[in-house]
Amino acid sequence: MTPHENTVIIDKLVKRFGDFVAVDDVSLTVKRGEIFGFLGPNGAGKSTTIRILCALLAPTSGVATVAGYDVAREPEAVKLHIGYMSQKFSLYDDLTVGENIEFFSGIYGVPRDIRDERRAYALRMAGLEEKEQTKTSLLAGGWKQRLALGCAILHQPPVVFLDEPTSGVDPLARRAFWDLINELSHAGHTVFVTTHYMEEAEYCHRVALMYRGRVISLGTPHDLRKQLRSDTLPEPTMEDVFVSMIEREDAALAGGKS
């Protein structure tokens, strides 16, 4: 793999549920090792896109490849090369930390010779070295999320999908979680993450703003803010960018209709 190879390629992706268009003609590429953020209000189509990329949903039309495999035609291969943390994912509460790791290690088919090493890595990453025997239900939210991430990358997948991984986690734990994401990126994992915390967009290499199923803006956080800079708004935040983009989109939609 060359350092700048594209690990996620989406081309004219469409997903319809009946009359409702959840994902509307989305095209983008994500490079290896990149932290790619998906921003947008609830119902914008972020989770649907991620689910298609994880081969959990079939696209209506368009093509998406992940780690070189077509999500519609090679779902089995895709699943061997990704790690996924869904919004609701919270591990198995009645199992201990160690048992959860062991289960996912078995499910992902982590080779025997590196299994102990990966287990130790996941424990260290989650900061739970001493808590292997602890029941998962007794862990605080932040630890749970980090353990969940640890379990999702036991098989060292080239691409990791995180759907709102930090929702409902306190700010300090969120910070720690993003340190982990950075670590993964440095280790060569591509991280595809959705969030609705605007300040978290700053930690991404590039972000896509998604609204009503469409990507309405895409670039580095710096570039997006620069576009909006003006005399009245010399230091726009990501939130300013987000709001103005959506307003512009709504205006265009309203204009198109009249």
Q: Which is nearer to another protein, 149 or 207 (CB)?
A: 149
Return the H-helix or E-strand segment holding 169: none
Q: Which is nearer to another protein, 10 or 55 (CB)?
A: 55
Q: In the structure encoding, which two tokens stand for residue 19, read together?
A: 């009359």
Please report whether residue 88 would count as binding another protein according to CB under 8 A.
yes
Please report whether residue 94 would count as binding another protein according to CB under 8 A.
yes
Q: d(Cα 197, Cα 32) in Å, to the nearest integer? A: 24
Please report whether residue 43 would count as binding another protein according to CB under 8 A.
no
DSSP alpha helices (H): ranges in the chain?
Answer: 46-53, 75-80, 97-107, 112-126, 141-152, 171-186, 198-201, 221-228, 238-257
- Count CB atoms within 10 A of the CB of residue 43: 13
How many residues lie near another protein (CB under 8 A)? 34
Q: Which is nearer to another protein, 5 or 17 (CB)?
A: 17
Binding to another protein in span 122-181, by CB under 8 A: 152, 161
- Least spacing, CB of residue 104 vs another protein, in Å: 7
- Least spacing, CB of residue 94 vs another protein, in Å: 4
Q: d(Cα 136, Cα 163) in Å, to the nearest integer? A: 20
Give the binding site for another protein (CB under 8 A). 17, 51, 54-58, 76, 79-80, 82, 84-95, 99, 102-109, 152, 161
